[in-house]
Amino acid sequence: MILRLAFGSLLARVLTVGMTILAIALSVALFLGVEKIRTGAKASFADTISGTDLIVGARSGSVQLLLYSVFRIGNATNNMTWVSYQDIADRPEVDWIVPISLGDSHRQFRVMGTTPAFFERYKYRSGQSLAVRDGAIMSDLFDTVIGADVAATLGYDIGDPIVVAHGLASFSQHKDQPFRISGILEKTGTPVDRTVIVSLEAIEAVHVDWQSGAQVPGKSTPADVIRQMELEPQAVTAALVGVKSRLQVFGLQRSINEYAQEPLLAILPGVALQELWQIVGIAETALIAVSAMVVVTALIGMMATIFSSLNERRREMAIFRAMGARPRVVLCLLVLEAVVTAAIGAIFGLVLLYVGLFVGQPLIDSAFGLWLPIEAPTMREIWVLFGVVAAGAIVSMVPALRAYRMSVADGMIVRI
């Protein structure tokens, strides 16, 4: 019955209590949402590349090499020569090698030249392979395969022609050699979704009439002539390497890093991802801290609400005291009220999170390429909810202790 009275008292103040619950719910939803985005981002980050033992490129920093070769962020400071590439490919430890040639773009998307082996060797999300959703991979020199986001954003379909621009955000286009879309890939949640893939030879082909970054005036070799040409690249941007035995990874990395003919860099993708995440991690920690502060603010708001309700509830507490309730009962009632409020807020927050996920999932995916899975709450999230309720009980002790002292002093006679 005491419980029923406590609920009755809460219901009687439904508006203020409701506001408190709403504040707690929003803060909890924000905190859990940030947590979801953080773990989602981290997972999709780590899932970007797998099955590749080494990434090789011109010597720069490991994070930079990872950024431009895998995430297509930033640019290579230099290329590696085709000779060095061949040299590495011929080494006995090397099981497979896939070249990557970057530098051109189509609209806001990067163009990547590679070999058909890329589709077979590139793995993401613990060993998943790329799959073609529509059409097929390149068969002609001027065929291209585009990522799911490219197709969705630009509304492309199989057979559509596209023109590649020289460089990034450039106005000089390779108009003479338009490509035809031969295939569209399944969505992967990786940078591949935002990449236009052509063959390595095609990268050479569009540059046939070009010298020093500009088209030679008046020169335009017909496509059929280009098809007959020997299109061996001079250089590639980077290469993905698989070794025959995992034990040889470090030996190969070392020898590539010490390659005398050209300054090269070989990195372990996993290690470089870790380094990169350490950099991003600071922002992530700040984000968590801010959303934790929001939760704390909401709880302090609840404390303030309980404080301000004390005066109007003095009568209620005096009645309890007059009926024989100990001051301890008054204290427990207030703490209980806080726990109930915080618990309802926490549960409501969880509901808000899932509603938000259902609504926001496709939006976040299309805007940021971040796929947030909708799953049952994790142990960690349940602990967060418990933590909020416990913290609610603790902060409510402050007004509850004041009420305790007040009800000892007031006894059963209240003069207001």
Cβ atoms of residues 101 and 203 within 8 Å:
yes
73 binds another protein (CB under 8 A): no
Q: Are 249 and 91 in contact (CB under 8 A)?
A: no
Should residue 134 be labelled a site residue for another protein when binding is judged by CB under 8 A? no
Q: Does 2 bind another protein (CB under 8 A)?
A: yes
Site of tokens 């996920």: 357
DSSP notation for 354-400:
HHHHHHHHHHHHHHH-------SPPHHHHHHHHHHHHHHHHHHHHHH
Contact segment (CB under 8 A) with another protein among 89-97, 245-253, 313-321, 391-399 equals 313-321
3-state SS assignment for residue 57: strand
What is the signed CA dihedral for 55, 59, 63, 68, rounded to 10 degrees? -70
Q: Does residue 323 touch another protein according to CB under 8 A? A: yes
**Residues 392-411, interacting with another protein (CB under 8 A):** 411
Could you tell me the smallest distance in angstroms from the CB atom of residue 310 to another protein?
A: 16
> Could you say whether residue 325 binds another protein (CB under 8 A)?
yes
Asked whether position 15 contacts another protein by CB under 8 A, the answer is no
In terms of Cα–Cα distance, which of 194, 176, 5 is closest to 109? 194
Nearest approach in angstroms of CB 316 to another protein is 6
Q: Does 81 bind another protein (CB under 8 A)?
A: no
Please state the length of the chain: 416
Instruction: Compare residues 3 and 374 and give the one whose CB is closer to another protein.
Output: 3
> Sign of the CA dihedral 162, 165, 167, 170?
negative
Pick the closer one to another protein by CB: 6 or 292: 6
- Please, what is the minimum distance in Å from the beta carbon of residue 398 to another protein? 22
Contact residue for another protein among 283, 322, 351, 359 (CB under 8 A): 322
Strand partners for 98: 240
Tell me which stretch binds another protein (CB under 8 A): 223-231, 246-254, 281-289, 320-328: 320-328
Question: Is 181 strand, coil or helix?
Answer: strand
Answer yes or no whether residue 9 interacts with another protein by CB under 8 A: yes
Residues that bind another protein in the complex, under the rule CB under 8 A: 1-2, 4-5, 8-9, 11-12, 315-316, 319-326, 328-329, 411-413
